[in-house]
């Protein structure tokens, strides 16, 4: 716009010239979240990892429909018990490991119990993901709230929360799980109908109680640097309540570290659930990946499919979740340029 053009404009006719790039397109601002999502869409590792995770999640959600296609009743369907060969120690008389493949039981039957391995695998994946997602959700909520309070508050509130965080961090996770889980479940040992749910929520509780501290420390450090910024001080001067400052002013600025933390915590919980169930302190009333690996560990020589199928699923799920988490971290980190 030239000086002559400005002289011909009347009052109120001036308009800001919209910036354009070399091709003539308008240049618009983008938020950090949009930039991160755009970088994720261009990341091939994130796309492949996300697709694999999505397939596994959908397989867990639609496990009954998938099993219905193969005519399998569920994880505790014992209609294949007549297919066990007692002469060979309870190994299945159809399908692997000693007989040709059959679509009736694509992954074979479990020795002695005749449970379908595909059903146990899909339902175990559902249970393991449910525990990991629930533990991630609750530990993130606790960590965010405690971190916000510790970082924004001063004096004795910050000291108490920081001491609590350090106290929980100093306690060994495995030792706490080995000691706490049996104590809680022993209370309901004679109530089999309630025991499986008690074990389910006990395992989730153990994962939450020994994991919320890491996010809390991260959030506290971020809040310590944000609470002296102008927008926080302006809100305080205007008389905004503390809850509004915490959840309306500070929390939106912490989305990036929260997303990164959650994406890296989830695969850790999947592996932890499998490990605790393998050690025998997990759940027994529901099929899980760790429980399946524990029961199949005695058959890995003669029945490798029974053992390596859940091991492969756990490995693929944890690796892809970790790779997806790394991609999310790189996308939200402004210092990376890929």
C-alpha distances in angstroms, 196 versus 135, 170, 191? Answer: 17, 30, 9
d(CA 251, CA 51): 30
Q: What's the pLDDT at 87?
A: 58
CA separation, residue 272 to residues 60, 282, 293 (Å): 19, 10, 13
Domains contained in the chain, number: 1
Is there a domain that residue 13 lies in? no
Instruction: Name the residue with tokens 């479990």.
Output: 110
91 belongs to a structural domain: no
Q: How far is CA 183 from CA 132, 172, 186, in A?
A: 22, 17, 5
Q: Interhelix angle for 192-209 vs 255-278, to 10°?
A: 130
Take residue 201 and report the two structure tokens written for it: 């929520």
Closest alpha carbon to 269 in 210, 327, 323, 310: 210
Residue 290 belongs to a domain: yes
Q: Using CA atoms, how far apart are residues 279 and 175, in angstroms rounded to an integer?
A: 12
Q: Give me the pLDDT at residue 336, please.
A: 54
- Residue 108: predicted pLDDT: 78
Q: Give the pLDDT score at 192.
A: 66
pLDDT in tens, 195-231: 778 778 888 888 898 888 989 998 988 888 888 788 8
23: pLDDT confidence band, cut at 50, 70 and 90? low
Residue 292 belongs to what H/E stretch? helix 289-296
Q: Is residue 113 part of a domain?
A: no
Token pair, residue 226, equals 């944000």
Query: What tokens appear for 312 in the block?
Result: 């492969």
Is the separation of the CB atoms in 282 and 288 below 8 Å? yes
Would you report the helix, strand and coil content of the chain in percent, each value rounded to 5? 70, 0, 30
**CATH (domain of 280):** 1.10.3720.10
Which residue carries 């029974």 as its tokens? 306
Look at residue 58 and tell me whether its pLDDT is greater than 80.
yes
Q: Is residue 94 assigned to a domain? A: no
Assess if residue 95 is contained within a domain.
Answer: no
Most confident of 58-62, 111-115, 238-242: 58-62
Query: What pLDDT, on a 0 to 100 scale, did the predictor assign at position 242?
Result: 78
In a domain, 275, yes or no: yes
Residue 259 maps to a domain:
yes
Q: Give 68-90 pLDDT, tens digit per residue.
A: 888 887 777 766 666 666 556 66
Residue 6 has pLDDT above 50, yes or no: no
- The 10 Å Cβ neighbour count of residue 167 is 10
| Residue-number span of the structural domain to which 251 is assigned | 119-332
Residue 29 pLDDT grade (very low, low, confident, very high; cuts 50, 70, 90) = low
Would you say the pTM of this structure is higher than 0.85?
no
Q: Is 275 exposed, middle or buried (0-12, 13-18, 19+ CB in 10 A)?
A: middle
Mean pLDDT of 39-54: 86
CA distance 179 to 186: 11
- pLDDT tens digits, one per residue of 106-155: 887 788 777 888 888 898 888 888 888 999 999 999 999 998 888 888 78
Taking only the tens place, the pLDDT of each residue in 247-257 is: 888 888 888 78
């Amino acid at each position: 716009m030239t000086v002559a053009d400005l002289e011909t404009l009347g009052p109120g006719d001036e308009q800001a010239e919209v910036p354009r790039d070399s091709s003539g397109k308008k240049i618009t601002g983008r938020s950090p979240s949009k930039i991160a999502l755009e970088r994720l869409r261009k990341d091939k590792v994130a796309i492949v990892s996300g697709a694999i995770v999505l397939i596994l999640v959908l397989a867990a959600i639609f496990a009954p429909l998938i099993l219905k296609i193969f005519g399998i009743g569920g994880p505790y369907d014992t209609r294949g018990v007549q297919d066990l060969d007692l002469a060979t120690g309870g190994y299945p008389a159809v399908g692997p490991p000693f007989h040709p493949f059959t679509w009736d039981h694509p992954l074979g039957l479990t020795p002695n119990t005749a449970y379908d391995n595909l059903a146990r695998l899909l339902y175990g994946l559902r249970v393991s993901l449910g525990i990991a997602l629930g533990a991630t959700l609750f530990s993130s909520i606790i960590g965010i709230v405690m971190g916000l309070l510790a970082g924004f508050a001063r004096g004795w509130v910050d000291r108490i929360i920081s001491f609590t965080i350090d106290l929980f961090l100093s306690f060994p996770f495995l030792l706490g799980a080995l000691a706490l889980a049996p104590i809680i479940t022993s209370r309901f040992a004679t109530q089999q109908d309630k025991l499986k749910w008690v074990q389910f929520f006990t395992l989730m509780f153990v994962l939450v109680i020994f994991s919320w501290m890491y996010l809390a420390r991260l959030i506290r450090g971020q809040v310590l640097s944000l609470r002296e910024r102008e927008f926080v001080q302006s809100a305080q001067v205007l008389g905004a309540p503390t809850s509004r400052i915490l959840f309306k002013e500070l929390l939106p600025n912490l989305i990036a570290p929260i997303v990164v933390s959650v994406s890296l915590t989830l695969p850790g919980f999947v592996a932890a659930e499998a490990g605790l169930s393998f050690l025998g302190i997990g759940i027994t009333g529901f099929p899980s990946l760790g429980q399946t690996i524990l029961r199949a560990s005695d058959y890995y020589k003669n029945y490798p499919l029974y053992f390596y199928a859940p091991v492969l699923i756990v490995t693929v799920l944890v690796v892809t979740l970790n790779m997806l988490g790394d991609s999310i971290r790189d996308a939200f980190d402004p210092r990376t340029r890929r």
